[in-house]
Homo-oligomer: A and B are copies of this chain.
């Protein structure tokens, strides 16, 4: 570490302030400067939906340390020994002379700032789709504190009676909940056939059903063609008709802010993010980059991916700081782990979805395991649907998804660790996870799911997906849908065209079924369905499968 080395950081939200603070800690003699275009430093961007929801009441909370101190220039100077300049835009990087041209957005004057090492942490910016009317008032992304502030003020003054969210990604679904909680009538419009493209279709449909149950109108496979209105938006035109709207949230994704890097001739990847090595170094050895402006390496595919997240940004900021201070460190890559709250549901995922894995040419086995997240007798037990994606050849876990009111985040974190450690489902099934009734079932949901995967890999459990069953039903295939639940459960709600033989009666009554028929056994969660299939197989039935995930995972209509 040189004395009085000049470290300049462009961007002062997550990765930038993390890198700057860490450099100042490791090298107290360094002169560390952060250049930030906006007015706020180190603000909690991920908290914006909860600020709009009024769960976070005070804007200051998003801008403060846990101890309640606002992270302003004085804070950074006094506590972190970092010189932060807000409302200052970096215009150009002169790599030859190691300097950055900046403009003071208040006064307008431009100056050159010299560096010995530079960290680019310019983040991402919301994609603005080229739709007519996108510039109307009350049409906004939710990316900055001022944007959230304006939405909150509009809603507080009675606006947002007809709120339309364009885009069904993470921010879209979080905003749907936030606006619904504020009394808005919310419509979500998603171009793709499902919301939350980070999930498989079958899991996403369950999230959609939950959103619909909570009063959100969800339109999938619908494209917005124009926004109408004089000054303010008044309607959203789509290829499926027009909707009234006095507030439109644009949440169709974000793109890396890599323009500055690109103009400076730094390598930028196909996904638009700055290319960095494991030490967060760009193609210029004096320039590092971290956070939402860089491309990541996917730990399973080894290929590039773009997964902008505050968690990754913080880790990368630290790696960049370590690297430029000579401390050994490396950022290995990501699994695309994500979680979000959608009303009463925890929705989480890591690794590859089944469709991603198949698109990647992998032969996979998938498992859907529903069940309570604590022993069924505990009043705190909530239902949780886990999906695992397993490589058939290596038996390694390569993906996991969780949907439902239960604690899915815990199980997906465990799955992320299993994938990181290259574990097979056989190893995962033996993990010594914590057990006590207030926290988990004796066989934790993910242990059970891993055991179902092993049963499938070993041919003991033969499953069939809801989608395949639906296709057979729609084609009019002869198919016996055998519901192994009790008559009372069957009476209350059932799958179309299903027959009911309770599990306890099946050994005595299986003669009622045709031994050569194609049978799909199930129950609420397909545990009794699995037992039923085994009873039938033992009785000589040849063509019996179990409905993956049972009724709990059935994404189509049910009869009541």
Contacts and interface: CB of A to CB of B under 8 A. Distances in A.
A507 B421 contact: no
Nearest to A59: B377
A440 interface: yes
A46 B432 contact: no
Nearest to A313: B442
Interface in A415-431: 416-418, 420-421, 423, 426-427, 429-431
A266 interface: no
A431 B81 CA distance: 29
A339 interface: yes
Given A55-B378, A409-B410, A350 B432 contact: yes
Interface stretch (A62-70, A101-109, A136-144): A62-70
A443 B537 CA distance: 50
A315 B430 contact: yes
Contacts of A464: none
A72 to B, nearest CB: 11
Interface stretch (A31-39, A180-188, A233-241, A329-337): A329-337
B442 A431 contact: no
Contacts of A47: 375, 377-378, 437
B378 A447 contact: no
Interface in A228-248: none
A493 interface: no
Contact of A485 (B67, B174, B409, B423): B67
Interface string A426-452: 110111111111111011100100010
Given A67-B523, A371-B66, A534-B28, A413 B416 contact: no
A504 B432 contact: no
A413 B531 CA distance: 30
Given A79-B504, A311-B442, A431 B420 contact: yes
Instruction: Using C-beta atoms within 8 Å of the partner chain, give the interface range for chain A.
Output: 35 or more
A309 interface: yes
Contacts of A346: 438-439
A525 B416 CA distance: 28
A478 interface: no
A294 to B, nearest CB: 15
B412 A67 contact: no
A210 interface: no
Contacts of A74: 504
Contacts of A350: 432, 434
Contact of A311 (B340, B416, B433): B433
A366 interface: no
A199 to B, nearest CB: 13
B437 A416 contact: no
Contacts of A134: none
A544 to B, nearest CB: 13
Contacts of A396: none
Given A25-B460, A78-B507, A443-B311, A435 B375 contact: no
A81 B443 contact: no
13 contacts: A25-B460, A44-B437, A50-B377, A80-B531, A310-B435, A329-B426, A334-B432, A335-B432, A340-B436, A341-B436, A409-B434, A413-B414, A417-B417
Given A79-B531, A313-B442, A409-B434, 7 more contacts: A47-B378, A78-B503, A174-B436, A334-B432, A338-B435, A418-B421, A421-B421
